[in-house]
Amino acid sequence: MRLTPLETLGIILTVAAGTQITRWLPFWLFPENKKPPAWVTDLGKVLPAATMGLLVVYCLKGVAWTVPPHGAAELLAILAVAALHRWKGNVLLSIAGGTALYMVLVQCVFA
Amino acid sequence: MERTERLRSALRAAFPVTVPVLTGYVCLGVAYGVLMAANGYGPLWSVLMSAVGFCGSMQYAVIPLLAAGFEPLQAFLLTLMVNARHILYGLSMLERYKGLGWARFPLIYTLSDETFSLVSTLDPPEGVARRDFFLCVSLLDYGYWVTGTTLGGLLGSVLTFNTAGLDFALTALFVVLFLEQWKERERRPAGITGIACAAVSLAVFGADNLVIPAMIMILAILLGGRKLTCA
């Protein structure tokens, strides 16, 4: 522990404050009792899809595409998730199946 | 009595959809607790950070700062940059979190990546109030993270089960929720925009700086596209 308890508490509160600013900002800018401009409402409808795409890529940012196995474990597991989801449409099954396959791949196949 | 029954049915609806978050958060939370302990910060500190800060990847990012020295300004700026993506979540949730009264405080306070992905995509089943459903999802997720951190801080290196790859549950969760969004035809261009902008940003700016350029590109393209379709 490099920092004193008081300094550590300070960092924790700083990080919490920064995080909460980013979470509350849109709600402060566009309060409930005022009708937000049309572009904000329109954006709110399509942003979740775009953000989910961003989050998928964000999760894969650490993958080394240029060296073997070229992200094969990630790609195969994602394909499995998509196939399972297409087949059964069960959120839990798709996630559990994909994760189990990924664990086998990184622990046994590409280890 | 009626109130408990109402909450119970909300919990019954919310719990199954949070199970992927449960696995992901417990793994990542345990890993966080272990990592903090390795840097000399015991369970009290990691749990306090998880409970008050509740910001997943940012908590990992701040460990090097905790190990280096007291740099509050740097910690603050880093937090704003890493968590800037939350602004997109708030913008998306303005409508859905409307008129929920006091519940907005815990809902917005705990609006993490995973919670956002669930509350922005899923609707409560018939008979369950939106507020109760959103609250149960958010508070369950929050509980998983804090519990995971506590376990990690306490157990430390006692764990022997090979958990390598278990955190893929979160990637899989985002993939599934992307596919759920994909079901609506008119949302597909936005989904493609999200992936393309993030991929371009990753290639150009690298893994550590991908979020903000990607966000700016996404906002620019979606707003530009809206102008085209309205004109």
Q: What pLDDT is attached to residue B162?
A: 67
Provide the pLDDT for residue A60: 93
A14 and B165 in contact by Cβ < 8 A?
Answer: no
Mean pLDDT of A1-29: 94
State whether B52 and B112 are in the same domain.
yes
B84 closest CA partner among B50, B61, B107, B52: B61
**C-alpha separations of B105 from B102, B117, B144 in Å:** 6, 18, 19
B137 and B214 belong to one structural domain: no
| Most B CBs within 10 Å, among A25, A51, A86, A109, to test the B interface | A51
In this structure, are residues B82 and B177 in contact, taking their beta carbons and an 8 Å threshold? Answer: no
Spell out the domain ranges in chain A. Answer: 62-111
A36 cis-preceded (ω within 30 degrees of 0): no
The pLDDT tens digits of the residues spanning A50-101 come to 988 998 998 899 899 999 899 999 999 999 999 999 999 887 788 889 989 9
* B130 & B215 share domain: no
Same domain, B144 and B193: no
Same domain, B117 and B194: no
Structural domain of B217 = 184-231
Checking if the pLDDT of B148 tops 80, the result is yes
Structure token pair of residue B135: 């609250």
A residues 14-53 lying closer than 8 A (beta carbon) to B: 14-27, 30, 32, 36, 39-53
Q: Could you give the CA distance from residue A16 to residue A13 in angstroms, rounded to a whole number?
A: 5
How many folded domains does chain B comprise? 2
CA end-to-end distance (rounded Å), chain A: 34
- Which pair of tokens denotes residue B75? 């910690």
Residue at B52 is within a domain: yes
B132 shares a domain with B208: no
Q: Which of A2, A104, A19 is nearest to B165 (CA)?
A: A104
Please report the pLDDT score of residue A56 as a whole number.
Answer: 92
Q: Is residue B87 part of a domain?
A: yes
| Structure tokens, B218 | 């996404």
Query: Is residue B9 located within the same domain as residue B105?
Result: yes
DSSP annotation of B85: G
Looking at the complex, report in whole angstroms how far the Cα of residue B18 sits from the nearest Cα belonging to chain A: 9
SS (H, E, C) B175-200: HHHHHHHHCCHHHHHHHHHHHHHHHH
Q: Which residues of A touch B175 (CB under 8 A)?
A: 56, 78, 81-82, 85, 98
Which tokens in the block code for residue B163?
């958990």
Assigned domain for B97 exists:
yes
> B205 and B111 in one domain?
no
Q: How far apart are CA A111 and CA A94, in angstroms?
A: 24
Kindly state whether A90 is in contact with chain B, defined as any CB-CB distance less than 8 angstroms: no
Are the beta carbons of A12 and B48 separated by less than 8 Å?
A: yes
- Pair (B16, B111) in one structural domain: yes
Contact A47 B193 (CB under 8 A): no
